[in-house]
Amino acid sequence: MEPMKLKDKVAIITGGGTGIGKAISLALANEGAAVVIAARNLSRLEQAAKDIKSRGGKARAIQTDISDHEQVKRMVAQTIKDFGQIDILVNNAARGTFNNADVVDMNLKEWHDSLAINLTGIMFCSREALKYMIPRKSGNIINISSVAGISGVPKESPYVASKWGVIGFTETLAIEVGRFGVRVNCISPGATRTQEFEDWVRVSAADAGISYEEMMSKITDNNALKRIAEPSEIAACAVFLASDDSSAMTGHNLVVSCGFHLIHPNMIQ
């Protein structure tokens, strides 16, 4: 049996109750990390923590709205109280792509809410975790962006702007904290089999006047691998970035899109 890559590490995963976040939580725990999963939906968090514990892992669920700085401070403080350290922060929590309007027509609340969660929330979490990582001269931050962060997507400017911002924030923070032994990297998934993605497909299909199946075919046809990713595949990349296997990597954006960004850089139009 291979040794666990994250034994004795403590990880915080935001948005860890469902989808990609839950897959990352399970994967990090499977490699020996104690995980704190934080999100707004407490019942989903508690179920995710229960699933991790049922597999022999250590988990703590903390209800947190990452757009609220005070709640983030409390979540990080509770992590330190429970586990004594923070080695890994995965900034996964995000508001999805349901704007579906041009800039001149969009609801401005969509813009403010997207940036508050997808970008400002990442800054809040990173800022508070770094207060414990920097003194220890060690730490690892993984931000989850999107292929929407490397290309324009019509009618989704709030989401796109926030995800481009995540990549820029990643690169800037990597420069700032590298001298303290802290690495900062990013994962940009493409289409991934989650409930949120399936909901987006249904909305997009209805807007285009086609069926769910037809929209899915359009998406997979625009992937080099002719399929979409599984959450476990994104989680495997998170394990890699969280471990010493990537010890020389910082400021990197790892695109995990089944080649979607290569064939159709402006998404589905």
In the 8-state DSSP scheme, what is residue 229? B
Q: Which amino acid is at 5?
A: K
- Beta bridge partners, 39, equal 63
Both tokens of residue 87?
């080695």
Instruction: Determine the Cα–Cα distance for residues 23 and 29; give it in Å rounded to an integer.
Output: 10
- Calculate the alpha carbon distances from 166 to 92, 120, 216, 252, 256 in Å: 11, 9, 27, 12, 16
Catalytic (active-site) positions: 159
Q: How many CB atoms are closer than 10 A to CB 4?
A: 14
Closest CA to 239 of 49, 20, 19, 60: 20
Q: Which amino acid is at 142?
A: I
